[in-house]
Chains A and B, each alone.
Chain A
């Protein structure tokens, strides 16, 4: 149907999926590990418990998906924030490289770290 196949729809799909993931998962995760545990409102899980949760294959898979898509969400949104907020669209090539390159690197890092969980 299309002579040229732009990549924009795919990037937008990742952006949207990442937006959903971040909105669903991050409030609870950040509330627990960022605020509730450090302030002592709730007792953090002990090491063996947390390791058991994280090392479950399903957890790793979900975490990889959430991390990767959220990073693409960041890349896409931040790129447009730079375009619109600072009017630096003429630097688009380096902005794209930093944003999407960062998301790809982050995904690889996440995959490596989650793979290494015993």
Chain B
């Protein structure tokens, strides 16, 4: 144990309740929290999916076509739709919570949190446009 144990004195008359293992099912906000935390699994999945794509592309055109076929099978498709929902949940919660963690001063003035959130979304739009442009426009 890394902790230096600190014991609250035992008191036979105090009533203590233990937190249930399923505490996150008890309230909607706790459940949303655990969904937000579980989005990390789908983040990891997207990394794997992306790396499979990169591996296919670096091999050959045939492998790339195989990847595209593979992505069309119903299981992969539903997994990816589910993943996109979680990724969006992650992005929205992340951008909305960022102003609480970040305080930015410009010229001695504190920027309002909404401005930080808006600039986050602007960043998302910019990055998305670049990705779409790179992949969809022939140059």
Which residues of A come within 8 Å of B, CB atoms?
A: 18-20, 22-35, 37-39, 42, 44-45, 47, 49-51, 53-55, 59, 63, 67, 70-71, 73-74, 76-78, 80-81, 84-87, 102, 106, 109-110, 113-114, 116-118
Contacts and interface: CB of A to CB of B under 8 A. Distances in A.
B40 to A, nearest CB: 4
Contacts of A18: 43
A22 B34 contact: no
B40 A113 contact: no
A81 B132 contact: no
Interface in B48-94: 48-51, 53-55, 57-58, 61, 64-65, 68, 71-72, 76-77, 80-81, 83-84, 87-88, 90-91, 94
Nearest to A118: B58
Contact of A23 (B44, B94, B136): B94
Q: Looking at chain B's contact residues, is the secondary structure mostly helix, strand, loop, or mixed?
A: helix
A15 B59 CA distance: 32
B134 interface: yes
22 contacts: A22-B90, A26-B87, A28-B128, A28-B131, A29-B50, A32-B135, A34-B81, A35-B81, A38-B68, A38-B72, A45-B136, A51-B57, A53-B135, A55-B58, A63-B54, A67-B47, A67-B51, A70-B46, A85-B37, A87-B19, A117-B57, A117-B58
Contact of A74 (B41, B72, B77, B80): B41
Given A80-B37, A81-B37, A74 B54 contact: no
Contacts of B44: 70-71, 74, 78, 102, 106
B21 interface: yes
